[in-house]
Structure 1
Amino acid sequence: MANILKKPKRKKMVDIIQPISVHLKDKEFEPKSIEKNIKEDLRKIDKQVEKFTKKEEKQFKEEEKPERKFRPKKFRIKTYVFIGLLLAVLGGGIYSAVEFLPKAEIKIITKKTEWNYVDSVIADKNITKIDVGQKRIPAEIFSIRKNFNFSFPATGKKIVQEKAGGKIIIYNAYSSEPQRLVATTRFATPDGKIFRLVKEIMVPAAKIVEGKIVASSIEATVVADQAGPKYNIEPVSHFSIPGFQGSAKYQGFYAESKEAMKGGFIGEKAFPTEEDIKKAKEKASQDLRDSVESFLSLQTPPEFKIIEGSKQFNLLKQEVNQQVDEKNNFTVFSEAELLNIAFKESDLKNLIEETAKAKLGTNFKIKTYNLEYGVGRADFKQGQISFAVNFQGVFEEPFNVEDFRQKSVTKSETNLRALISSFPNIQKATISFWPFWVKRAPDDIKRVKVEVE
């Protein structure tokens, strides 16, 4: 009982954390040295706290349970509060040491001059570099050719009688002499349907191999003798030539078809009217132009400028097939090419900048600008395009920031202002030091910040 009521012995602060000796040399502290020493001290304190905590935990475990009700919990709270406050103070010290290290900020506004250029320029594929005197810049011509078969609906209706037609293969197994067959020569199917040659052909001579005749052949187009769907027949293995009937040639000349005959029809059918054809041609031409312009735009390097008036579209061929398909559509075949003369905007910018230097001074450069183009007048035979230019720009002399920073190190405000005055292209500057008691720029160039507008 006496042990329970016995008051715990109070420990002095010295019992918790022993003092740490820090020896400082008699010299001016550099920012990096201060930060390094603080970090080393903090590591030593962490080791002391860790050692103390382990010691206390061991002591608490050895004490009797009744004593824990009165002593360990309260003592632990005080210890943690003290350690927390100590770390906060040390952290604040480190932050302050780093944040409040001397630094200088200099904001500079350079002198700027507005200058405009309103004139005509020629882009020419025959030159390779800018010509300031002649106001010429290099150009390149890009081209593309495409063709396409466009389909359009036929709106007309009429009663038609159409003949079937197709391809046949004609054989000469008769002699080693070629045989001429005139247009409209008849070819008969086994069931008597007649098809006629569309145009005259020459059947090549048969070959004689080891005394035997080897048939030769030629393909030809035929059309049914009469209109109607009954001539839409499947492939036929043997066509005879009625004109040779009664002679030896009747057996020696024959034909076959590999594909069905098609197109035989009697009845109402759609057809393209004159208005259909006119609109189809216009639409096909415009669609083809849009297509080639899109293709050429993708193939033109991005650094090249394309202005209005720099293109030439040539429609090379346009053919209308008035025969409608099963969906009552007819087709328009179109072929065209697109030429485009383009230039690099960087070349134009350099031409304007060189022109401005003759007026403002050789050191001036374009800082910001706005550029507008007039409609170009292209001459593809000469390989050039002329166009109007409206240039509105702001020019300035280049300012060497790194050179200025190097010269700013360790200078007082007075010396800095003298340095600023030595740069003729500086219009205005503001100087600020941090913290407030600092009177000159630090010797560490990394802590000298220079902003240029």
Structure 2
Amino acid sequence: MDEIYYLEPDEEITSVIDKIKNSKSNRISLVVPREATLLQSVVNLKLLVKEAAKFSKEIVLVTSDKIGRNLAAQVGLTVFDSIKSGRPIYQPPASLPDEQEIIEIDMRKEEVPQAKPKGVQVHHFQEEAHKGWSKKEIRPTSQPSWKPHKPVVEFDWKKTRKIIWPLITASILLILIGLFLILPKVTIKIKVLAQNYDKTLEAKISAEESSNLSENTFSGNLIDLTSEKEDKFTATGKKNLGGKASGTLTVYNYWDSNPQTFPTGTKFLSSSKTFVSKSSVTVPGTSIRGGNIVPGNVNVDIEAENAGEDYNVKSGRFTIVGLPAAQQEKIYGQSNKDLTGGFSKEVTVVSQQDYDQAKDKLTKELNDDLKNQLKEKTNDLEILDKTVQNDTVETKSSANVDQEANDFTLKIKERTRVMGFNKSGFDQFIVEVLEKQIPQDKMITLGLDDTIVPVVKETKYDEKSLNLEVHVKAKISSKVDIEKVKKDLLGKSNTAINNYLNKIDGINGFEIKFSPSWWLKRISNFQRNLKVELEYMNEETIPVAPSSEVSPSLPATPASTEALP
């Protein structure tokens, strides 16, 4: 009798295999609901078949899920559509014998021995035939392997057409609407008489004050950065810190009767060694006593210029450095005792070169660091030449120059300040300042060749300001409000455009160009599709005949300068 299992929709294959394994029946019916997890993958069903064969179980699948039945049929399972069905929807064919399998068939029949009639000889031909007979080997013929039938799904063209045609129609409509909104692109050049306008004025960039047209003050941004670095360096200098030899000299004046004065630090030379006086002395002049010349003399203490035992010179004569050769013979010093006290002691000290190299290294690193910070802070700002100000705020060393040390630590703190500002905003600000100085029906605009060049006059970062001298090269012409023209012309036809432009005072003609030229002669409602330019005309320009796209009122050839909207 079949053992029936009702599976849950989300029951996993591992749970089903456990049920098969634990079942005591050899034939198991699995009732599977629609869209159950087991029926979602042919891999699950193949695994089910494999495990069933492993446990010698026959599996019957009961389900109303069409897709599940197809998959089950593909893997060779017997399939019913319900428990009450008498016949399966699909039943796999009986397994065919393997080609290599040997089937033995015994053709001999067991016969019941019969009694021979007396006096009659019976000859059995079967016995003679059977004597030459033996077990005959019959091999099965090769049979094609069974493959499950794959159901053919017919494509519903009627249903597809009902979906595709509305989509195609809607796409075409969207494309046409998009082209109508996007096209055409229109460029309008308005011709105006203009004169060159050159002006130099003073202005100020301030980080504390807001923009003020009457005071020519434009708001800027003062960037103030500080950075410090500290590092340890090796001292390489050498210095003799031993004792200096010293002694007393008697200075004689045989030169004349006038006294000779020698200040502190006067140098005396002996044995190629230099000594200096510790005090200022005045040597009396020569006198005559009893007919003999008596030199003036005075004692002075001296000290060796440098330390070392080499300065322990013997007693003797000392030449005064700086006197003419003739006077050095008559004015000199004399020691009666050897100089003593000199000895050597060489130590490592911080040399000037050590200090300078350390300072240069830290300063460069600080400047690079501040430069990178400055670049991040001023990414969208205009920075003028010679406006970056670097200052050393602090320099601190653990050892001074010539001080004994094997190494030293140097710390430097740098400060960088610069004034940045928005260049396009500044240019517009300067134009507005200059427009206050011209008639109200005129305007100042910048052509392609026109410039506004600010030059640094004075940096006052302590007052958070930067004084400039601004050189302006521009055009002055009749006032035309470009933005108002663009706004008014949106959505207008070619005829309406011509009527509107002909009513503007102060213009000398215009050109209208539609792109593509074959499209509707109408401006779209998108402002980005409309470009309005000013084209300046010199008063002495020679008139030319208008082209087909030029208004009849155009009297002159355009100048080479194109205005920026």
TM-score (norm 2): 0.34
Structure 1 or 2: larger helix share?
1
Structure 1 or 2: larger strand share?
1
TM-score (norm 1): 0.41
**Highest RCO, 1 vs 2 (Cα 8 Å, sep ≥ 6):** 1
Q: Which has more radius of gyration?
A: 2
